[in-house]
Every structure is written in structure tokens, then in C-alpha cells.
Amino acid sequence: MSVRALFEPFRLGGLELPSRVVMAPMTRSFSPGGVPNAQVVEYYRRRAAAGVGLIVTEGTTIDHPAANGYPNVPRFHGEDALAGWRRVVEAVHAEGGRIVPQLWHVGSVRRLGTEPDPRVPGYGPTGKVKDGVELVHEMTQTDIDAVVAAYAQAARDARAIGMDGVELHGAHGYLIDQFFWDGSNKRTDGYGGSLANRSRFAIEVVRAVRAAVGPDFPIIFRFSQWKQQDYGARLVHSPEELGTFLEPLVEAGVDIFHCSTRRFWEPEFPGSELNLAGWTRRLTGKPTITVGSVGLSGSEFLQFFGKTDEVAQPAGIEGLLERLERHEFDLVAVGRALLVDPEWAAKIRDGRHAEILPFSRQALASLV
């Protein structure tokens, strides 16, 4: 089947992409001290050079004491880190690609002992104390305002160093999603209770980012039904509920929705073959990015960081191309396949399928 649809240009306002291939954000912990180094520059440059239209960086932490949850994760604040990201931007642009940072706060997932300050607990919509020790600090209004401001400043910095937009990580059980999800949000104030109230924090973040960057700078919002804590979790159960959930985010300033699913081919609701990205596009009229096990067979991404030696072999993308040609979604995010094979997009484009590399935990040893 022709791959032409995957390599057609995409345009949204001033954002012009040379292809519909998006590099999905994947945490790698390759930035000691939180600063992207020469290896990180080369990592992203190679994928842009091989035909990736838009790179969404690995999660980058905003300027808040509890934003980080993992070692060696890059920051998106501080002169040293921003200088590193500027070098990444220049390298990607030189290859004809476009790039946005994924702005991230892990929320209550953070554990005591985590860098940069091991004394700082997780922050979340609901607190947690065990044996007299505060493991998760329940966010006050002052805390919420500070985090919203930190997102806005990160977006402002992204524009200043030449990024092509920003992505807000509102998925997978991290801070924004912790407010969305009734399993983690037990608040009784204006940020808790109904889904409309639980969406208030995200809406405030989007509005603040829009005010910081102006009307023409693209804002991508990533969301999911599933959580790393619960694969079966759901925010909404019908198209009607999904539309009600998404519309305030559109009004706040979201331009593109990145709809995270574990398997792109699975229908989101009974009675239709549309996946989450398909329904989101139909309900909002906004461009969408689909994602979920594109290009590789076997277990999902997260399982490869457990104790398994399973190898994910290259898989065909005929079904994906059919959906793209039907305009079910606009862009396609590729994760594991691009993580292990920087030439994946070029090999797909040029019909070099036999050369595509399989994915395994062992292959993660050489991620450049």
C-alpha cells in the first residue's frame, strides 16, 4: 500500500511539517543534571534527518520543586538547560524538522529521595501521609497558582529559544491527569467532584500558556483514558462525555490533541471503529495525533522496562495508512520503533521494510 499519505506535508497556521510522522515523547534519562548534552542533540537530529516531521521531546520538567520524578530527566528551565535545548532546536531545524518540548510535572508519582531536592515530596490534588511522613503534599491554591505560572513560563521560554510549539502532558496519571481522574482527585473544592471541576486545573494551565505565547504559537495537549497506575481507567464512557470534556480545553486554547492509546487500532467506544484520536477529531474539529504500538508487534512500550526479554518485531502499517487516508486523524506518533531505529521513517518511505530494526530491552543500550 502507498505510504504517500504519511509523507504529505501538514500545515496548521504557521506550523508547517514536512511529513505526518511524529516522534512520540519517551523518557530516556540521558541528561545528567537536567541539561541536554551533545548526545541528546544528535539523538533528535538523526530522527529529523530521516523524515520525522515533528519531534515531541521526552518529558521536560517545569520550574517547580516537585516537577521531577526520575533521574537525569531534562529540565526546561535554567540558562544551562535552555541553552542545551536551543542547540537541539538548531540541529532539528537544520535537517528540516520541527520540534516541541513536552512540558511535564509528575505530581504525586514523585517519591521522597528523588532529585533535585530529595526532601521534597510529591505534589498532587490529594495528599498522602504514611507513618507521620508526608509522601504527597495536597496542593493549596497558592501551589496551584505557582504550577500554572511555571507552565506559562516554560512555554514562554520555548518560544524564545525557537521551539515550534509546546505539548502539555495531561496523560498517563501525571499531575494534570491526576486532577482529571476521580481515582486520584478526592478534592471537595472547585477542583474536585465533577469532571468539569476536575478539568479546571488543566484549563487554567492552557489559558495561562496561551496568554504567555500569544495566539499563533501551537499548543498540543496530550491526554489518555488509561493511567500507568490503572490500564483500565476511563475518564469518559461515551462520545457525548468526551465532547463535553474536550470542548473547554478547545476554548482555553488547545490547537492539536495528542490522543494516547496503547493500541491505535482499538475502537474507543462500542458501535464505531473510530479510535480516540478519531473521535476527538470528529467532536472538536481540531487536528489530532494518534499513537499506540505503531510499527511494532508485541507488548506495549511500558512492559519493555520490566523484566522481559521479549523482542518486538517490525509490523505492517497498512491499517494505519487506511485510517490516515480516511482522515480519521491527521498525524501519527511513533514510539518504540523510532526509539530503537532512527531511520524508521526513511525506511518506511523508501520501502526498505526488511531493514527496520526490532525492539528489545537490549537494544535500549544504544539509543542515539
Distance CA 312, CA 299 (A): 7
Contact 310, 299 (CB under 8 A): yes
What's the average model confidence in pLDDT over 87-96?
Answer: 98
Give this prediction's pTM. 0.95
Q: Which of 43, 174, 191, 231 is catalytic?
A: 174
pLDDT at 310: 66
How many helices and strands, by DSSP H and E, does the chain display?
11, 13
44 among known catalytic residues: no
More confident call, 134 vs 364? 134
pLDDT in tens, 178-188: 999 999 999 99
228-238, pLDDT tens digit by residue?
A: 888 889 999 99
**Alpha-carbon distance values, 113 to 2, 39, 75, 135, 200 (Å):** 51, 27, 18, 11, 30
Residue with cell 498532587: 124
pLDDT value at 210 more than 80: yes
How does the average pLDDT of the chain come out, rounded?
Answer: 93
Q: Name all domains of the chain by residue range, CATH numbers in brackets.
A: 4-365 (3.20.20.70)
Q: Averaged over 22-34, what is the pLDDT? A: 93
Out of 44-58, 205-219, 335-349, 352-366, least confident range = 352-366
Q: Is the per-residue pLDDT at 136 higher than 90?
A: yes
- The CA-atom distances, in angstroms, between 332 and each of 8, 192, 213, 251, 255 are 12, 33, 25, 24, 16
Look at residue 305 in the predicted model and tell me its pLDDT: 47
Q: Where does the pLDDT of residue 94 fall: very low under 50, low under 70, confident under 90, or very high at 90 and above?
A: very high
